Amino acid sequence: MKPLIITVAPIGAEVTKEDNPNLPITPEEIAEEAFNCYKAGASIIHLHARDENGNPTQDPEIYHEMIKLIKERCNIIIQISTGGAIGMSPEERRAPLKLKPEMASLTTGTVNFGDGVFYNPPTLIKSLAQEMKNLGIKPEMEIFDVGMVANGKKLIKEGLIDPPFQFGLIMGVPGGIPGTIKDLLHLYESLPEKSMWSATGIGKTHLPISVTSIALGGNVRLGFEDNIYYEKGILAESNAQLVKRIVRIAKEIGRKIATPDKARKLLRLKI
Ligand code: KMH
Ligand code: ZN
C-alpha cells in the first residue's frame, strides 16, 4: 500500500469555541496548529478562515495571512476551501483561489447540510473547476453524497480535471450519505480509475470510517471541522492529538505516513 496521506481540517465553518474551546481561530493560532499537525504527521491542511469575531469568511487577506504564517513554519500542503459556509455567494467562495494554493476543495453537487442547503449548481461547479485548471490548482472533489461521484466523473470526461483524480469522501453529514462501512465501500467502488481518495466521517462515524479507509489503502481526513471529540463525551485537546492517534493506528496496521513532499509526488501537484 502507498504511504498514508493525512489531511487535517482544523477549523471548518460550523464549529465554534463554545463547542470546543481548543478551536483555532486567528491566523496565528491556525498556523501554530498547522505546525503541530505537520510535526505529528499531517501532510495536507484543509483551510477555512474566520474573521476577528470568529465568524466564517472567505476574505483573501485573511487566507493570505494564514498561508504566510503556515509557510514560515512548515511545508504542509495548503488546500483552501471553496465551500466556505452555507449561504455564501459564489464570488465570496471563489475569492481565495487567486492566491494560487496548491490545492482547493471542489464540492460536486448540492446537498442538504443539517438545517441548511449547501448549494452547488452545475454552472458553479464547472466554473470553479475551470478556474482551478487555469491556475494550476489541484481540486479535491468533495463527495457528500453518491450522485456527486457521477458529477465528478462528468468533470473528468469534460477534461476539467487532470489525473490523478483526488476525491474526499465526507460521510455522515446530516442530509448526506451516512457514515457506514457499507456506504464507504459503495463510494470506494464507484470511483473512476486513476483516482486517489481520502475519507472522513462526521462525529461518531469518524473512527470507523478512518480505520476502514486506512485498511482499504485509502487516505484520511480528520480535525475539528469533522469531529471535535477524542472519544465519547471527551473533547479533543487539539487537532494534533487526533493526528497522533491516527498515526499510531496506521503504523499498527502497517501503513507508513506520507511526508508533504511524498504527498506532492503522489498527487502530482504543480509546485
Ligand atoms: N462548510 C461547508 C458548508 C468545503 O470546504 O469545500 C462546506 C465545506 C466544504 O466545508
Ligand atoms: Zn471544508
Whole-angstrom Cα distance, residue 256 to residue 94?
Answer: 35
Protein residue whose Cα sits closest to atom 6 of ligand 1: 83
271: pLDDT strictly greater than 80 = no
Beta strands in 130-218 (DSSP E): 138-143, 165-171, 195-201
85: pLDDT strictly greater than 90 = yes
CA distances to 96, 137, 172 from 134, rounded to whole Å, are 14, 8, 33
Q: Is the CB of 144 under 6 A from ligand 1?
A: no
Which residue do the cell numbers 463525551 mark?
A: 233
Protein residue whose Cα sits closest to atom 8 of ligand 1: 83
- Report the predicted TM-score, pTM, of the whole model to 2 decimal places: 0.98
Q: Is the CB of 86 under 6 A from ligand 1?
A: yes
pLDDT of residue 48: 98
**Ligand 1, atom nearest to 86 Cα:** 3
Q: Is the CB of 83 under 6 A from ligand 1?
A: yes
What spacing in Å lies between the alpha carbon of 226 and ligand 1's midpoint?
10
Cβ atoms of 199 and 179 closer than 8 Å? no
Whole-angstrom Cα distance, residue 157 to residue 108?
Answer: 14
97: pLDDT strictly greater than 80 = yes
Band of the pLDDT at 270, cuts 50, 70, 90? confident
Band of the pLDDT at 86, cuts 50, 70, 90? very high
Burial class (CB in 10 A: 0-12, 13-18, 19+), 90: middle
Q: Ligand 2 (ion): which residues have CB within 5 A?
A: 81
What spacing in Å lies between the alpha carbon of 225 and ligand 2's midpoint?
7
Could you tell me which residues are beta bridge partners of residue 153? none
pLDDT in tens, 192-239: 999 999 999 999 999 999 999 999 999 999 999 999 999 999 999 999
What totals of helices (H) and strands (E) does the chain contain, helices first? 9, 14
Band of the pLDDT at 5, cuts 50, 70, 90? very high
